[in-house]
Chains A and B, each alone.
Chain A
């Protein structure tokens, strides 16, 4: 049974204020802001404390907020992801011991192969110099890569050479929810990735501007679980899509919206995301959101 989560804030991370992080893996003309704290809360909004590079004043930033010429697209436990003019960069939470550089987020593909049993195997070729995992259609485990200066192309579901960036879009109420089941907690956040490069956390999105929908999940105490499945329900109550993947403490799933059946068949109205773990028949967490024309 999913219970409403009323636990306190999980963590507030406040760094020593001495370190400077790097932006995006390339030398920047302007000094980079410094992430001096991250607050991840189970109730209420998650935000980062970022020290302005010129004024040295710390400020509180949520996903979608503007930091200089960048926009905050994700706040993770140890870093903040920014989009700046098509370049995805990461600010690692500063430490007193070292100036942590921006690091990449690796994506470990965890979707099981559905083609078991007697399903026929195709002659598969990867066309081109190197194969890549698509950011779509799978539940991807988000893992922290060690060091390195990268700028996002395959960091989390981002796609081939993502150029998403720009300023943050104003959002309505954040589309995030939490749930527990058998001692396991799950926090779900919906982020809209817009055609214009911005990201938006909200519970209502206009399909005129929405390109993709990012479903982020963070689990705690999930050590014994094996499997998760995400079910998207259309406004008429029909199961639009089910995605199954291996359990991981943190996963992201990118669902294409623009130009899909959603816009082609006017599937506008109230949608729902249900997340199930293992054999459970009731969702551990569920989140409603609205797609408008």
Chain B
């Protein structure tokens, strides 16, 4: 039974099987089929000494031209035009002797209009040329063969050839020594059919060219052509053209963009492979590079011209202002075959309006972008984050590829990097073995303790002091004994997120002893260590070396002795540092050692060294480390006799921090010396220390018992002024004293301001990019997020109140989800430094939360995030959410219907405005978190984007609604809502975007224009047609109110000066 005419009926489950079988039987298709393009031939050329054949119509670069030339007699010499290569020639000596020759040529971009073959002798000739596209340019002919027909006949056979590749084009050439027309071999298409004399004629000769495709490799069989009359002798030639075989289709450039400036267009793209760019002045049709053909600049492909072919990633092209150019970029693979191509159009204008335009191929760009400090950052449906120079529209950096479209406005965040502050002080231990030094609260993860020491003591019990930040408000200094005075200069440098510190206190019970670390970047990390030890005299075990032996291991070691030491250590990673490090040995008999290093800028570089010794002594165990040239370190000491194993860290700061260094020589009687710094430093941004484990210099004092007092070469480094470094030692040694050398460094840390932009895409990822380079510092794929449609927002710690600073160690970024689900959406708080989730609101779907598409509003005063969502399938779910940013808890929620806008707060921070899709505008008291108005203002249409409040008139609100109205409404405070029936004004603008409020309101429109509206009267004062006016214009933005930036559905961003022309 067949219930359904023209149907196939099968049993359940059979379809997949059938489909699979069908798929398996499919014949593989050539990637680039050979096609006959056209032919040209000369009929009745008689006995001319040459034959001139036109170039086949439409011949394009890369076409393979097959020429058939026939001549009588068989002994005639045939001279081919330049570029043609003989494929086969058959000379027939039987009957009316003649010759048939076949030539081939790969067409260039500049083929002549005609081709001339000349003959040494001639009693008749004829010929023609066939052009084929899609044939392999390197080896066009797969196989060829010829055969003579010696008997007089009207049927002539071109021989069989055996092709070795699939999808060939079989071409045959037949000739006989009479003049008449032909019937092509069965299954072949006749391309040319000419004779030397008017037909029919028993004299002269005739030529036939035919072709057919052959899918499979193998024997072609013979091809018999039939002449109409006048039997005679002749010949046949068969050849097979080899197709271009492309591999997998190459991917288009990762992006393709253009900046149109006056008189030129700058094209940008990204591809690891060469690119061919075509240009037209009309939209592209089928113009594309042919498979197998290589192109050069100025080649033509149909109506298109190759304007670039090569491996660069940009090119600048002269262009005529006012002309719209279409560009299409193709990636070329090794064959060469080409990608599908991606196109855009650009129209340079003389300016000033627009000043420039920028187009990203691949989708709409409706955000005006985020502009400031000379750059505008935006994104498009082409899945890229873009930074453009606001002055000329050129790309600041290669666009950052995102997984999916980024439609929400990007967010700009100053990066909290560089030095925050340096606290410093002097602590004196007299009878204490433990001394706590209170400090102002610091972030332990981003703070570094530098300490230098002076003392006058001969036993480690009392003289060896270690120091550590034991809490956010405390430095703890420890020694074993409780006698004699030790003075410690401490400096606590606190940084932004560019610095991270691991620290610990380790009892060293072995040598070496290893301590596990969280992985560090060795190229950005160095170690600081201080050391406490038991003992009454100084020996080899009183000197400790700390070094990183891997990214996760810190090693301590010291010379032979007891294992009763304790190390306070800090492993400091500075993002803005480039650290070289190494081990070196100062041999027992050596007083100095030179170590080559990769060149450094000595004004930005400091040196820190620690070591082990194999013997006792003061002078032999005290090393001075200096940077003696950009490529050289020198370690030296005043006395030899012990073998020292050094580990050094050479730290170059790349964030604008500066380093001053020097050596101060202490005479025999000198305890204090002040060095004048060439450049002033900030006393709250600079630290000073010695190179020898922060405190040590060198001395010639051998320091043997009972005078082994390290105090002769231990120094306190104290910045007593912006240009004064005071160095103190506690003893000059016994008798007349000893000299000492103090190699010091003063590091003035930079505040290193930086910035980032970040945003979410429709794949649920958040991107955080450095505005200086465009590099993505991190990307977070948010689990549970189908898409991030809403613009992200942030809470910057530096601008936040104490409660937030206490709760958070970093800036927070907020990203809200746009899920398929109407109930499981979330709001993520991400740590700015690495994207880690600090909290996620509704991560367990405690609340029924529909998707969020409007920018969340950050209330810094109250540490609250206002989030607007839709209201679920029912429309009754909560839709306005107030979230505590300290912990992600819910403060309050409101069921206000579907909200697809951003909540916005009044300038006085008392009121939050939000409108739903039904056109109801609500005001919420930000303090009481209750509705401010007794009802809502009924606008009758959904609010678009967000609500602006006037800069000077409290409660004056500007916004647009989905029905194409731009509004000005006055909020008169608590009580009745504004009467939407009598607004301050209302103006119709088709498809109005969210307005930009400057001195005027600027609104993008579906009518292709930007409208300038007087905020006082609502008069639509000016309209500026953007581009050709055919595309919808998006939401405007500005950098400094002297211009606006607007995007369009066509994927173009325009810079338009203000006032509008």
Q: Which residues of A contact B (CB under 8 A)?
A: 8-16, 36-41, 77-78, 93-96, 112, 114-138, 144, 157-164, 166, 182-183, 193, 195-197, 208, 211-212, 220-221, 223-224, 226-227, 229, 234, 236-242, 244, 249, 254, 256, 258-261, 263-268, 276, 278-282, 293
Contact = CB atoms under 8 A, between A and B. Distances in A.
Contacts of A266: 962, 964, 990-992, 1006, 1032
Given A127-B782, A239-B364, A161 B789 contact: no
**Looking at chain A's contact residues, is the secondary structure mostly helix, strand, loop, or mixed?**
loop
Contact of B339 (A14, A268, A279): A279
A250 to B, nearest CB: 10
Given A134-B785, A256-B787, A159 B819 contact: yes
A131 B781 contact: yes
A117 B254 contact: yes
Contacts, number: 340
Interface string B784-826: 1111010000000000000000000000000000111111100
A127 B826 CA distance: 13
15 contacts: A14-B11, A77-B15, A128-B784, A134-B763, A136-B762, A160-B786, A223-B23, A226-B248, A236-B1032, A238-B1049, A242-B362, A256-B789, A264-B900, A265-B1034, A267-B1006
A8 B6 contact: yes
A136 B851 CA distance: 14
Contacts of A134: 403-404, 762-764, 785-787
A158 B822 CA distance: 12
B786 A249 contact: no
A221 B917 CA distance: 46
Contacts of A95: 11-13
Interface stretch (B90-98, B432-440, B770-778): B770-778
A132 B762 contact: no
A210 to B, nearest CB: 13
A182 B29 contact: yes
B830 A127 contact: yes
Contacts of A237: 1030
Interface string B521-533: 0000000000000
A120 B775 CA distance: 6
Contact of A282 (B15, B286, B762): B286
B226 interface: no
Contact of A12 (B8, B251, B405, B900): B8
B835 interface: yes
Contacts of B366: 261, 264-265
Given A118-B270, A259-B818, A136 B10 contact: no
B3 to A, nearest CB: 8
Q: Which 9 A-B pairs have the closest CB atoms?
A: A128-B783, A159-B820, A137-B404, A122-B776, A259-B853, A15-B12, A8-B6, A266-B991, A115-B401
B870 A195 contact: yes
Given A39-B4, A114-B254, A278-B340, A126 B781 contact: yes
Contact of A13 (B15, B398, B781, B1049): B15
A242 B249 contact: no
Interface string B55-99: 000000000000000000000000000000000000000000000
Given A241-B363, A242-B363, A266-B964, A15 B782 contact: no
Contacts of A240: 363-364, 381, 1049
Given A137-B762, A160-B821, A240-B381, A119 B12 contact: no
B991 to A, nearest CB: 4
Given A240-B381, A242-B362, A135 B254 contact: no
B831 to A, nearest CB: 10
B209 interface: no
A93 B932 CA distance: 57
Contacts of B338: 279
A125 B781 contact: yes
Contact of B786 (A9, A159, A234, A282): A159
A265 B944 CA distance: 8
A221 B19 CA distance: 9
Contacts of B270: 116-119
B873 interface: yes
Given A116-B254, A195-B873, A224-B28, A77 B819 contact: no
B590 interface: no
A136 B993 CA distance: 25
A162 B873 CA distance: 12
Nearest to A255: B762
Interface in B1000-1042: 1004, 1006, 1008, 1030-1032, 1034-1035
A12 B763 contact: no
B608 interface: no
B14 interface: yes
B404 A160 contact: no
A118 B398 contact: yes
Contacts of A131: 781, 783
A10 B780 contact: no
Contacts of A227: 248-249, 340
Contacts of B187: none
Nearest to A122: B776
B364 A238 contact: yes
A12 B7 contact: yes
B253 interface: yes
Given A9-B8, A241-B363, A123 B1031 contact: no
B51 interface: no
B404 A138 contact: yes
Contacts of B761: 137
A261 B900 CA distance: 11
Contacts of B288: 279, 281
Contact of A242 (B29, B382, B400, B763): B382
B7 A14 contact: no
B132 interface: no
A127 B781 contact: yes
Given A117-B254, A160-B821, A281-B285, A127 B780 contact: yes
B931 interface: no
A61 B650 CA distance: 76
The residue among B779, B818, B898 with the most chain A CB atoms within 10 A of its own CB is B818
Given A9-B8, A134-B763, A134-B785, A241 B405 contact: yes
B576 interface: no
Nearest to B252: A244
B249 A278 contact: yes
Contact of A127 (B253, B835, B851, B870): B835
A288 to B, nearest CB: 17
Interface string B467-481: 000000000000000
A64 to B, nearest CB: 17
B26 A8 contact: no
Nearest to B766: A127
B10 A13 contact: yes
Given A13-B11, A226-B249, A279-B339, A118 B272 contact: yes
Nearest to B20: A249
A244 B819 CA distance: 22
Given A120-B774, A128-B784, A261-B407, A10 B8 contact: yes
Nearest to A85: B873
A30 B29 CA distance: 51
Contact of A93 (B13, B991, B992): B13
A249 B19 CA distance: 10
